[in-house]
Amino acid sequence: QLKTNFYANICPNVESIVKNAVTKKFQQTFVTVPATIRLFFHDCFVQGCDASIIIASTGRNKAEKDHPDNLSLAGDGFDTVIKAKAAVDAVAQCRNKVSCADILALATRDAIVLSGGPSYQVELGRLDGLSSTSSSVNGKLPQPTFNVNQLNSMFSANGLTQSDMVALSAAHTVGFSHCSKFASRIGNPVDTTLNKTYAAELQQQCPQNVDPDIAINMDPNTPRTFDNMYYKNLQQGKGLFTSDQVLFTDARTRPTVNTWASNNAAFQQAFISAMTKLGRVGVKTGNNGNIRRDCAVFN
């Protein structure tokens, strides 16, 4: 059972310690924000929110982070958790008392706030997982080609509703994508649900044989602000992935997109609720987990 004051007696300043570390990292690079948010999502959807995503591969074990679906996770997300963990462990009382999974949950909230998104209380008390394998990622993460049925079934497998799915998708209001992830939409023929001007811009930014390391903004209007622009973009055919644009083309999710495009407060409330539910997915307690000394290595 998670609770917001879990560390009140164990490490009373954990929230400010993590926040300071994330802020410092943010001042070095904005990538901290999208990288950390996406890391949290990819952690929670595979074996639950247990920092299994942070484990490094060894000679004996190919870990989650080396699965093809995770190779595009930006290193700055991992680095944010490692730095925040070091800051927590620098306080004697807190040393090895706060899980990496909880540090990631807190850092995600802090990243959202640093980019202008809503603040919220983070439920805490997760343990770190005891396994991380590349094979366990198979079929657990949504693909950018997904339709609403596919999105709904994958989110509902994690206890999340269609409304939660639409709210969480707005995380694409910050951050970057590699051209390969949407190349099929701007090729021949161009996806008809794409705004024509936007399609031309994307073709220019992502010409054929573009450097595979090139990444472009997912929100063409406010790429560094965590806002409800995501939904306004969808209304104009400016969703980058099929999985984004279908939220507007499909009649089941379109009313939700329209509501949140015009009502930022309602979006923020839905987003907070969905993030809180995401943070409860597959939480480890008791013998199913522990508190890692090094977030990238099992104890």
Q: Which of residues 60-79 bind ligand HEM (CB under 6 A)?
A: 72, 74
Nearer to Ca ion, 43 or 164 (CB): 43
Name the one range near ligand HEM by CB under 6 A: 95-103, 172-180, 196-204, 289-297.
Answer: 172-180
Cα–Cα dist 184/26, whole Å: 33
Residues 6+ apart with CB under 8 A from 204: none
109: partner contacted, choices ligand HEM, Ca ion, none (Cβ within 5-8 A by kind) = none
Cα–Cα dist 132/63, whole Å: 5
Nearer to Ca ion, 120 or 230 (CB): 230
CA-based torsion, 289, 294, 298, 299: positive or negative:
negative
* Residue among 157, 165, 140 nearest 247 (CA): 165
* Structure tokens, 238: 């400016």
Given the residues 38, 42, 109, 238, select the one marked as catalytic.
Answer: 42
67 catalytic residue (yes or no):
no
Nearer to ligand HEM, 7 or 177 (CB): 177
CB of 165 to ligand HEM, least distance (A): 6
Q: Does 175 bind ligand HEM (CB under 6 A)?
A: yes
Residues 6+ apart with CB under 8 A from 200: none
Residue 252 has φ and ψ, to the nearest 5°, of -75, -35
Size of the site for ligand HEM (CB under 6 A): 25
Residues forming contacts to ligand HEM in the complex (CB under 6 A) are 34-35, 37-38, 41, 72, 74, 142-144, 146, 151, 168-169, 171-172, 174-178, 181, 215, 241, 243
Catalytic residues: 42
